[in-house]
Structure 1
Amino acid sequence: MLKRLLFIYLFILTFSKNHAQFLDKKFYLVDSIEKKESNKNDFIIIEQNLKLFKSTTSDTLKLNLLNEIIENCNDESIWPKYNSLMYRMAINLASKEQNTYLKNKFLSKKAQGLNNYGYFIQNYTGKPNGSLKFYKDAAKIQEDINDKTNLIITNNNIANFLYNGGKILEAIEIYHKTIKLQEEIKDVNGLTPLLNNLGEVYLFLGDTSKAYFYIKRALSTAIQSGDKRIIAQEFQNIGILSKNSGQMDYAFTCLKKALALREQIGDIAGMCKSKINLAVLYIIINNHTLAKQYLTEVEPLVQKTDNLAVKQTYHAALAQLYQSQNQPKEAVKEFEKVLQISQQIGAVQDEVKYGSIILNLYKNLDEPEKELKLFRRLSSLSKKLNSAEVRRNALRRDYEYEYSKKEQDYKIEQALKDEKAKEEKRKQKFITLGISFILLLTLIFSFFIFKAFRSSKQKNIIISEQKKEVENQKHLIEEKQKEIVDSINYAKRIQDILLTNEDIITKNLPDHFIYFKPKDIVSGDFYWAHSVLTETENLFFLAVCDSTGHGVPGAFMSLLNTNFLNEAINEKHIYEPNKVFNYVRTRLINSISKDDQKDGFDGIIICIDKLKNKTTYSASNNSPILVTQQKTLTKLSCDKMPVGKGEREQEFNLYSIEYQKGDSLYLYTDGYADQFGGPGADPSKGLFAGGKKFKYKPLNDLLISISDVPLNKQADILNHKFQDWKGLLEQVDDVCVVGLKL
């Protein structure tokens, strides 16, 4: 009867749009499917597999190809039709086949079809109770033919159904039983959804640590399998866990990774969930504009999908948005939709969760009749859930009781043995030594106790004095540390003053940006600018440099370097960039490189001659990057030697920049490209564990992609990308990037 209902549902679904342009059944094998922009990735999979389907004579391969379509197709109006085709073929082939091996192959596909029917009914029809019969029929076949791989999937769906229906203990029992079955056959693909669902169960039970343990294991197995759909789901779950524990930055990182993966594979339902969860994060941090933007983006997709879980998540997020904007009536309307969908899909936990929120809203809106009706409904459901909780606690107490009872029995038994042994020893002493020897031992023992007491007293006095001394030293260290930090902060103020005032740069280069991010309080990276205006000269100099080291040593070097740059131009009147670098190198070598110290800096200095409309530069180890308006990138020349003592001390070259008005020029140090991070970085395993460098090519590609964005916004994009890449890892070096329009 349920199968007939499903076919009727599909028939109505298929023919409800009279204007649709349906595809040829002769090739596509099923009726009334429509190719749209949203399912173009699905049709790539469908057409590839159907070509193979029509070219083969193997019935087993044909069923496998249909199964490939079902498993990889996202459009819920299409894959159930191919499931019906696979199910009918499997029944027909199994009824005729005499060979046991082939018959079991066909029966396996029949069971998969039943399992898929159950999944469709549970998630798309609003009548989830009908799915359990399909699941159990599938499991019966899989047990009979010993198809453990697919039995794992079916059992997972059964446990998920029981969990949604509030039968939590039964669900946990099946999950653990199925994990043991998976361990027998070592099927990584089957393990991932089991671990994921078990994690979600423990999350509902409030055991966050155990939920994180299972979901993190699920992510690990998903990555091993390479299934992007499942990897995205696990990143989403970790993002939700991070949100619940207040780790908002990490939650954003995980949810954005999930969204990117789902966009790659065209998972419409998954993209909706990711964007909705991101909207919820923005609601929590009171960024209602971005939250509304995400919800507006997914609204048309939500209206088209038949996936009730997606609809439920969307309306819940919209209700939270209204609630945070103090619009209780609109919030109630959306929460009532959530409650209705929760009832349709049999999600008892969600019904209790959202029903409790609506109950408070009814109370605030003074709607006593609705409040009373909902209260009675929630009371009934809470008893159902609480009974499961009582059973869970009782089960735990039974285990604790059995353990404590065995432990107590062991202690009593051991105590009796010890007592018996002591008694035997005592008797032996009385017999062999006698009373006099015992008295002698007592006197000697008393002497040593007294001596130990005196020694212990003296030691306590010494320890007390040492403790006071340690506390005094600790206090002194804390004071010194405060003085050092205050000194470094004061040094930062000095460095900020000595760094070129951005007003000077803005006056000479109206269209520019500076992205400056020191690793520590003070920086070895620096930017410097100077203008020369005489009767014969109108020059503007700009330098971006990376001094040796970072932190306090790097800051001292940067102050020394800027002083020598100013000296070259102001006092020595050197106006060619290469000669400026030559002069500064000589001053550095004479000043600080007497003991073969190789201190100095790498950097770029450009000179814009406004009278001659000409731009020249000199570069030490770092190359300027020129990006044209046509988005072509040129890495300009540089000299492979430092400004300071090095293996090469030749004269620096003077270079000219050929450009068109409107081209972009970027000057940067190595800190951005050398930053560790990216997917897989785990700060708990060490400073760079699991991470990799950002590198220069991705940085240059990023500069190309943003070159047409207004320069005042490019720094924000660079910062966002840097933080997203770095994640929770430490910054490894100072960062300085300067961009300007020529």
Structure 2
Amino acid sequence: MKYFKLIIILFLFLNCFDTAPQQIRLDSLLKIIKTEKNDSVKVNCLLSIADYYSNETPDKAIYYANKAKNTAIYLKNRILYARCLMEIGWYYYQLGNYAQTLKNYFEALKVYKPSELKYTSAVLTNIGDVFLEQKDYEKAKEYYLKALKIDEETLNKNGIAVINGNIGIVYEEQKDYENALEYFYKSLTLNKELLNEALESKNSHEINENKKEIAIKLGNIGNLYASKIENDKLTVNEKNELLNKALDYLLEGLKIDYELNRKNGIATKLGNIGILYKYTMNYKLAENYLQKALLVSDSIKAIKLMIEWHKNLSQIYEKTNQTEKSYKHYKKHIELRDSIYNSDNAKNSSQVELSYEFDKNMALKKAEKEKKDAIAKAEKRKQQIVIWAVGIGLILVLIFTTFILRSLKLTKKQKKIIEEQKQIVEEKQNEIIDSLNYAKHLQNAILPTAIEWQKHLPNSFILYKPKDIVSGDFYWLTQITTMEPPLLIFAVADCTGHGVPGAMVSVVCCNALNRVVKEFNITEPGKILDKTKELVVEHFTKGSEDVKDGMDISLCSLYYKTDKIILKWAGANNPLWVISSVILNDSEESNSKIDVSTHNDNYMLTEFKPDKHPVGKTDNNVPFTTHNIELQKNDSIYIFSDGYQDQFGGEQGKKFKTSQMRELFLSVQNKTMNEQKKIISYKFDNWKENLEQVDDICIIGVKV
């Protein structure tokens, strides 16, 4: 039965790309636009074209929707204009640009009159969707309840069904599964009633809309049952029952999505089925569904979905010991996640900038019109001067002279104002730079001094290259003198982001490390990271904002016995490299966590792999692993952030990559540590050339 379901899905998946009928419809719409004289018809055709492109190329959808909006403005048709704003907002929502989404939705809310309740409810619902996507659940619920009140007063069954489903999603995200299930079933029941009514009236638009909503609700219910499987208190039979329920609902919804060619719904359900199989450790089926989901998501540029599928594929490949594939998908997951994070962080400034640009453009247009009016008025005055020159020449000369003097005075005044404003801008810029330089001074104060570092680790180097004035990377050193022999603990950390945000996070993380060692007297690397994670999460959860910042780190403790050199190490996403003339082993870990694939004639590079979760808020709360390594004299230790290997450069503008970095480190083993630093730094600068540095860089090398 399971394989029969898989064959059906594969058949539907291949057939969903048959777009010939849609292409014929698109050609017809483009022809109508060229020939139609009625502008209202043109607006509707342009919006239909935008809808055609919305699933696969939202950028094209925005282009045609903006053309429709401009035509509606020309017609002075308020309702069409507001509808265009709603469509544009939806396409930006698909692209993950929430600043532009809210801008268009709130503008539409202004356009609609208070009496137009149906339209107002739709806008409020869409605004709630944006806050839901940003995980602001209380704000989302506030807008949904406003919309629900309107729909209940106007007996709008379609609106009530949609909002009940959305409120169900809010409760699901808040882990309130009972309320979530209640709202999902309410919504599903209403949509089935509405579908029956549409079938009786043969209203094709309503049929498709309700089928779409039914597919969404089936997916929501399937996901909810899947979430319950993670409960460790359930028996095997109970989990299997939930698995079958979840799979039935997801497959039923997926079938409808294929029928409607809803690629966003197809991608979502394929991916969720893949995650479901991952829970049951059926990794082959899980990989199959997630790869299909990734293909469809990529075709419609659904970045949020792609982030989730890459993460789960990385986890599957890690479980099945396919390290290279796991790393590839994890790296892509991080790149896409950071792009969304940076976009979200810029949201407020983008909104201010948009408002500013709009006001500026309006002011320029007004000034241009005034200038044209002034020129026309001057031309008319010149004609009058010519006509009356004979009779009142002297008076006109006096008037003209007065006019010139006033113009010169006004020009001089305007020039003075511009110069004053320029000076203010320059002063503000200098204040910002001074503040950043002082922040750099403060950040440097928390770093170990060169004297302190050389005192404890004389045969070592630090290569520290911040991307901006202040850095998200930092290095750390402390000595435990109460132990015999004394214990040295040192680390390289890479905090979330770079520049000012990264620097702020680095202060919190550095302070947490100091507290763990000095206040809690913890010296074992794995336990240091566990306690540091606890303090960092506690610090960032004090306020109302959901902050998930933290750091990736590679942390070592080193001490010398009479005849042994003992290194203990733990890592969060960042590895440890040891270069030696012999193969090293971890006394407590399997060889699956050690990579010795890189070597030359004289040396072997051993990579100790880190735990795959950061020091910060995460769903993975597995304790960090402490690795115990016995070193040989003249072995070299390297810990680092990811900025060096991620730098773009060279003749083809590609990344430096970890493999090339390994070869570089092996090639300098016959050099002193100071010479190694110079060679590694020169190689980086030569590789980067004139390209921008992409991230902060911090590398520590120690020869024991």
**TM-score, scaled relative to structure 1:** 0.37
Structure number with greater Rg is 1
**TM-score, scaled relative to structure 2:** 0.39
